[in-house]
Amino acid sequence: MSIEIANESGMDVAEPDLVSVARFAIGKMDVHPAAELSMVLVDLDTMADLHMRWMDLPGPTDVMSFPMDELEPGGRPDGAEPGPSMLGDIVLCPEFAAAQATKAGHSLDHELALLTVHGVLHLLGYDHAEPEEEKVMFGLQNRLLAEWYESLREAARRAEQAERDRRLLGKTGFTAPGDPLDPA
């Protein structure tokens, strides 16, 4: 999966986290692993211009999605095997997101992760214009975000355990066969 980020916002953000959460959400939605995604982070003026040009709404917003190919998660059972495709573009405005994060009482990193998942879902055809659509999309968004955070916690637990094992094995002088420190 190819995910490209261009940060034109002037703000320092955790770009690897945005790639990670986008990759996680795309994978969980059963999109072909060779799919491509572009993410652009922009300033308030650029986002306001895009918002007016594409949505005919004044002022900036937090996230906009521009789908490229018509995709359905999991594909159709009677359709051909899905192949790689360009999902589209997600445009994020970190400055706008920072104000939302402050208002919501959480970090900018969390807000940008949430908006990234939101943008991915829009690229996959989800919407929230109607109450039932909103319920489905926001439920899925919250579930994906919670699962991503759990995957990060699990990876950290495994890394901590591996480090404890390495220290313990180093103190005992034990080396496993094939270990570079094995004298055999």
Show binding-site residues: 118, 122, 128
H or E segment and range at residue 116: helix 108-123
Q: What's the gap between Cα 75 and its chain centre? A: 21
CA distance from start to end of the chain? 41
Can you say which residues are annotated as belonging to the binding site for Zn(2+)? 118, 122, 128
DSSP string, 42-109: --HHHHHHHHHHHH---S--SEEEEE-S---TT--TTSPPP---EEEEEEE-HHHHHHHHHHHTS-HH
> In 3D, which of 133, 5, 8, 125 has the Cα closest to residue 67?
125
Q: What angle do CA 142, 145, 146 make, to 5 degrees?
A: 85
Return the residue matching tokens 């040009």.
53
